[in-house]
Structure formats: structure tokens, C-alpha cells
A and B are shown apart, each in its own frame.
Chain A
Amino acid sequence: MMLMLHSLPFLWQGLLVTLHVSALVVVISLVLGVVLGVGLSFGPWWVVWPVRLYSDMIRGLPLLVLIYSVYYMLPLTGWSVPSFWAAVSALAAFQTAHVIEVTRGAVQSIPHGQHEAGKAIGLGFGQRMIYVVMPQALRRFLPPWINTVVSTVQGSALVSLVGIVDLMFSIQQVIGRTFKPMPLYILGALIYFAINYALSLTSRALEARFAYIRE
């Protein structure tokens, strides 16, 4: 128990890296994912096919394989990318595919009748998107999207395997010095748990709050 308390400062730096990585990945995947997701739902075939292909292929791979591939192959292209950015790119590519799916699901779940009602009162395509589709899609988007944020934090633990000194890596370092794995693992689990559980609860609260949208 005392050990757990003493190791906290050593874990702190790692935690910051974990949060840093997660935040970067969340932002990048959010922007790219939503844009591509909307393109997938409403765009012409030359947007739909590549995005579809990308999303299906990336989601069909284990995250670890993706991280290893990017991490080891990137240097070969001549780009000397620091390992931090290689890992972030891999994780971001993975999450973007998921955000694309969440966006597509949210937008395509709007019942057809809503589009028709918008058309019937004379709204153009852009107006329908802004005033009818997006407000409803947002409410369907948020809860599952928060789940992708949770999976980002989970996935960030894998960057420890390519040498990024995140929370997971720091835990291993402390264990390497103290030879007492269990307290550290428990402590680490609690930290990850605190972050993710808070996010999960938010997601569930939002889902309940927006239930009136589902008819």
C-alpha cells in the first residue's frame, strides 16, 4: 500500500503522456472521422468507395498490428518521424475509422421522413442538413463517440510496446525496480479505470438524456 503511494510521482509523467497521446488522437480522429463520415453518407461514389475501403480495412486489423506496421515501416520511407508521432499516427488512423462509422451511423439513422418533411416545407439540401439532420445526428453521435474516446485511452496503452513512456510503460519501469508487480498493476488499473469510467458514465447519461430523439 505504501508502495503504491510512493510510486505515484513516477507514474505521473507517464500519465501525462497517456493523456497527451489520447487527446491528440481524439482530436485528429474527430475532425477527420466526421468529415469523412459525412462524405461517406452523402458523397459521390469516388468519395464513398475509398472511405469505405479505408474504414473496413483498418477496422479489420488488430490495433497492435497497425501500430507495429506504422512504427517499423515509416522510417523506411525516408521520413525520420519520431516514434511518438509514428505511434500517434497509427492510433489516430485506427480511431478515425471508428469515428467514420459512428458518424455514418448517426447520420444514416435519421428516418427518411425527416428529410421529406424538410423538403416539404421548402428547405434546400444545405438547410436540411443544418436545421433538421445535424441537430438530430449530433444527439445520436455523442454517446457512441465517447465510447471511441474510451477505446482510445485503452489503445494508448499499446504505445508502451514501441517504447513510448506512457502510463503503462512507467508502471513496467517501477516494477522493474521494486519487483512487486501486483500493487503497481492495481494502481495502474485504478487510474485507467477512473478516467474511462467517468467517460462511460457521461456517455450513458447523454444517451438517457437524448432518448426523446429516438422514436
Chain B
Amino acid sequence: MNYHLNYYFIWKYFGRLGWGLVVSLELAIVSILIGCLIGLTLAVVSHGARRPVRILVGAYVEFVRNVPLLLLVYLVFYGIPSVGGFAYSATTSFVMTLSLYAGAYLVEVFRAGLAAIPKGLIDAGRAIGLTPWQRVLYVRLPSMFRIVLPSLGNAFISLFKDTSLATVLAVPELTFGANWIYTNTFRIVEVYTVVAPMYLITGFVLLFGLRRLEHRFAIRRR
């Protein structure tokens, strides 16, 4: 094996990796937020709604979850503009795709979370005279938040890893940065021995933060 490790180029172009990581996180954060909006709305809507509504929501969820993310990314970026006539940037396209992807997964999470709220809490809310809207704000949402927090956190970490797919649209996130350095320097080992730990360490830090958050907020189920 005639390969001489040379990290010079990595440090020279580290900006692409460092900023790439930032972009990855940004993509993940925006997507999870929009995804939560979608997921929560659809979960509430389909809760006790008529059959056609539930089937529609179900179709959305099943479609997104059973089709590869890569194909969805292409579909939104290349496919839709070709029939719609309009165009959008790669980043916008990817965020939309990832949000839809997250939303589909989160609908289930929120649905389960809403169903898991102990009935006793809602009764207690009624008993002290809260109006329905007040019950939603002060009883349902806080309880649900605590229940879904672990799943939300895990979804976020998952999403962070999925941002690597933005490479195919030339979005300047971490994996794209890695490939750029490789294409321009062919220093594959150096690149990935830096990039892989970057993903791993970020993941562990996020996981650690998530556990702390859970301890602070989550309901402990015996």
C-alpha cells in the first residue's frame, strides 16, 4: 500500500467541513421544525376525523415511509419543477423533502403521544373548570410534549444523518464538503477519518443533550 497520509489539505480546506457541519445541522433543525408542524397538525386532524381524512393522511405517511429518501429528493428537485414550470434552489428543495419525510414519521409519533395522555389528567382539567381550549394549552400539549420528547430527539438525530443525502443536490453540507475535498485532492483516507468522527461526535453530543433534556422534562414510566 503506497499511500502517505497527509493532512495538510484537510486543514487547508477545513472550512468546507466545519461549515458543512453547520449547514447539516441547520438543515436538520429547519426540517424537524417544519416536520413537527406537519406531523402535529396531521395528528390532530386525523384524531377522531372521518374515514376519508384518515385514509388521506395514512396514504401520505405510507408513501413517504416506503419510498427511498434519495428518490424523494430527486422527485422534488427535478420532477416537480418539470411539471410545475417553477423552480427553486437546491437547499429549498432539500429542506422541503426532508420536512415531508420527517413529517410522515412524526405524525405517528404525535398520534401515539396524544393517545398516551392519561385520561385522568384531562378529567382533572375539566374538574377544575378549564375550557376546552385551556385544556389543550395547559394539559394536553405539555403532557404530550413530555411523552414524545425521546422520539422527537431520536428523529432529530436520524434526520441529521439523513442530511448527508443533500450531497446529490450539491448543497454544501458536510458530506458534500468531504466529497469536494476528495475530488480535488484525492485524499480519501484523510477526509473520511476526519468526517466520520465529526458525524459520530456530533451524534453523541446530540444524544447526550437529548438525555439531559429527557431527565429534565420527561415523564418517568415505571
Please name the residue on chain A nearest to B188 by beta carbon: A72
Q: How far is the CA of A185 from the CA of B161 in the complex (A)?
A: 24
- The reply to whether A65 and B196 form a contact with Cβ atoms under 8 Å apart is yes
Chain B residues whose C-beta falls within 8 Å of the C-beta of A150 in the assembled complex: 66
Decide yes or no whether A211 CB sits under 8 A from chain B.
no
- The reply to whether B71 and A192 form a contact with Cβ atoms under 8 Å apart is yes
- The reply to whether B83 and A69 form a contact with Cβ atoms under 8 Å apart is no
Interface residues of B toward A: which range? 35 or more
Interface string of B56-68 (1 = CB under 8 A from A): 0000001101111
Decide yes or no whether A77 CB sits under 8 A from chain B.
yes
Interface residues of B in 148-172 (CB under 8 A from A): 161-165, 167-168
Instruction: Say whether, besides A154-B69, A185-B79, A62 and B199 are in contact (CB < 8 Å).
Output: yes
Chain B residues whose C-beta falls within 8 Å of the C-beta of A172 in the assembled complex: 74
Decide yes or no whether A89 CB sits under 8 A from chain B.
no
- The reply to whether B70 and A182 form a contact with Cβ atoms under 8 Å apart is no
**B67, B164, B175, B203: which contacts A192 (Cβ < 8 A)?**
B67
- Of B68, B165, B199, chain A has the most CB atoms within 10 Å of the CB of B68
Give how many A residues have a beta carbon under 8 Å from the other chain's beta carbons: 39
- The reply to whether A61 and B161 form a contact with Cβ atoms under 8 Å apart is yes
- The reply to whether B162 and A62 form a contact with Cβ atoms under 8 Å apart is yes
Chain A residues whose C-beta falls within 8 Å of the C-beta of B63 in the assembled complex: 189, 193
Nearest-neighbour CB distance to chain B for A161, whole angstroms, equals 7
4 additional A-B pairs beyond A64-B164, A78-B1, beta carbons within 8 Å, are: A62-B161, A72-B192, A77-B1, A153-B68
A interface with B by C-beta (< 8 Å)? 57, 60-65, 68-69, 72-73, 76-78, 150, 153-158, 160-161, 168, 171-172, 175, 180-182, 185-186, 188-189, 192-193, 196-197, 200
Give 11 CB contacts A-B under 8 Å: A61-B196, A62-B165, A64-B164, A65-B175, A68-B192, A73-B192, A78-B1, A157-B68, A158-B68, A181-B78, A196-B67
